[in-house]
Amino acid sequence: MGVVSGQDAVIRTLLYTQAKQLVSPYRLTVAEFTNRISARRNFLRAGCGNKDEGIILPNQTLGAENRMTSNILSANFNSGSYARTTAENLRILYGGNESVPGGFFPRGANGNIAKRFLNNGTAMPIA
């Protein structure tokens, strides 16, 4: 996960430098886009709470140690990474249900763990 976190930090840093720019044709700023993406990811995790945040927080009470609104790495109060289960990650990737392919993986992911979720759900396993 360290490599993924590093990649995430680079991308979020680049987005942060452009936070106030409008994204055409949507008339939303980069910061507003990141907030909407984070809100969608939180929604797809279905009742697992806030584990994703945009690059600029609406107030300091959500920021690290309740002191900041900038948010290069989405983290909890103690600046630690949010814990996510395999099921939560698959819900994001599949679009809402860890046992039914869709979203980024319309035919399902092909790893052993993902296949176990497919086998326990309503979807057919990948051949």
**Domain layout of the chain by residue ranges:** 1-81, 85-127
More confident residue, 41 or 127: 41
Q: Is residue 120 predicted with pLDDT exceeding 70?
A: no
Q: Is residue 2 predicted with pLDDT exceeding 60?
A: no
Give tens-digit pLDDT for 3-37.
Answer: 566 677 888 899 999 999 999 999 999 999 999 98
Element (H, E) at 104: none
> Can you give the length of the chain in residues?
127
Give tens-digit pLDDT for 28-70.
Answer: 999 999 999 888 888 887 777 777 888 888 777 777 777 777 7
Kindly report the number of other CB atoms within 10 A of residue 64's CB atom: 18
Identify the pLDDT of residue 121: 54
